[in-house]
Structure 1
Amino acid sequence: MIGLNRGFIKIQALIITLLVFGLIVYLSNTEHTGQMVTMEKVSETNIIVADYSGKSVIVTLPTGFSGTIYEGQEYFIEYTTKRWQQPKLMSIKPITS
């Protein structure tokens, strides 16, 4: 009978731990960023951009992205950043002078 209670307590502790972890992940903040950048590198899955202070950021392209992006050009981009994930591109517009 005592061994059964210990097993039940372990299961309860595991469930509580999983619920707390799920709550932390759910409440993880998402940041939305919009900035003017210079395109440094373009690949099929991501882009590397530099803002005007020179800070580089790797941004993941959405699946099926078919836009045309040129290295060395300036763009206004918007992306979201979630904790534990790379930034993901939401929109991109070329800057024309």
Structure 2
Amino acid sequence: MKKLFISLLGSTIVFIVIVWASETKSTGEVVRIKEINHGSILVENSSGIEKDVEIPKIITKLIIKNEEYYISYNKTRWSGWKLKEIEPIKI
């Protein structure tokens, strides 16, 4: 019984460490807004790579298409990109 408990505890700890280590990837870059949808935006970075980023629905009307913004966003292993912050680029 004691060996089973220790084995289960060890397996649980290993699982938690793996999940924690793969939890979040965070990045920030200057992007151009290509498309605005209800709850997401399609952005293109300076390398031409497009990503669909989930945003709060309340800010969709504040973002202007074809404008440049600095955005930072997170990605977890089991979900898509989620906006963390956004700032317009002032020229």
Calculate the TM-score normalised by the size of structure 1: 0.71
Q: What is the 5 A alignment of 1:1-97?
A: 21-62=15-56, 64-65=58-59, 68-97=62-91
Structure with the larger strand share: 2
Residue 3 (structure 1) aligns with: none
Gaps of 5+ in 1: 1-12
Q: Please tell me the root mean square deviation across aligned C-alpha atoms, in Å.
A: 2.6
Q: Deviations over 1:39-93 (max 9, x none)?
A: 0011121111000110001101136446600110000001011112101001101
Paired residue secondary structure (1:38): strand
Letter in 2 for 1:74: E
Deviates more, 1:62-71 or 1:15-24: 15-24
Gaps of 5+ in 2: 1-6
CA contact (8 A) 1:48 1:58 kept: yes
Larger radius of gyration: 1
In 2 relative to 1, CA 65–14 (structure 1 residues): closer, same or farther, beyond 3 Å?
A: farther
4+ runs of 1 displaced by more than 4 Å?
A: 13-23
Q: How many residues align?
A: 91
- The percentage of counterpart residues that share the same residue type is 33
